[in-house]
Amino acid sequence: MRLKVIPRNATLAWSPAHHLPVIATGTVAGAMDASFSNTTDLELFSLALENKGVEHQEVSSPAAKVSSNARFNQLAWGYVGGDRQYGVIAGAMENGELDFWDPEAILAGKGADECLVLRNTTHAGPVRAVDFNPVQVNLLASAAGNGEV
């Protein structure tokens, strides 16, 4: 049964469990939408799952969004703690960068420069995967081509 539909060609990550259900979507690398758009956005969608009256409801407008300089291969949302009550969103980027975004700043409508916490450029090629350690939440692994981890 579908509860909500987000019409995007995107990779996604769920917000941490103790927050209201929010999904982060990043414009996916290697795909083209019906409008041939070349946008590179990181969008946050509030799902409002408490509204059970409407099934298969389309969520067409994000709660907030920020533009990126590249498309996303994968997203991971994790590490809640300290001064990051909403955690950090990590993006595995097609241009070889590993970007870390502040979802609280994105939801506050701040600009891309304020929302981007860190940009790591140590990978030689496109970053294909990223994930937070579920046990030790301050650890993150990323992987790129040629066996880079």
Residue 76 within a domain: yes
pLDDT reported for residue 110: 95
> Among 1, 141, 4, 15, which residue's Cα sits nearest to residue 86?
15
**82 part of a folded domain:** yes
pLDDT above 80: residue 35: no
CB 27 within 8 A of CB 39: yes
Q: What is the CATH number of the domain that holds 63?
A: 2.130.10.10
pLDDT at 137: 84
CA distance 124 to 14: 28
Residue 40's Cβ-side half-sphere holds a number of Cα atoms within 13 Å equal to 14
Question: What's the domain range around 11?
Answer: 4-144
Instruction: Please state the pTM of the whole predicted model.
Output: 0.85
pLDDT digits (tens, 9 = 90+) for 7-24: 677 889 989 866 678 889
Residue 149 maps to a domain: no
Cβ neighbors of 122 (< 8 A, separation 6 or more) are 98
Q: How many structural domains compose the chain?
A: 1
Q: Is residue 117 part of a domain?
A: yes
Per-residue DSSP letter, 113: H
Concatenate the DSSP letters of all residues of 7-45 into one string: ---EEEEEPPTTS--EEEEEEBTT---TT-----EEEEE
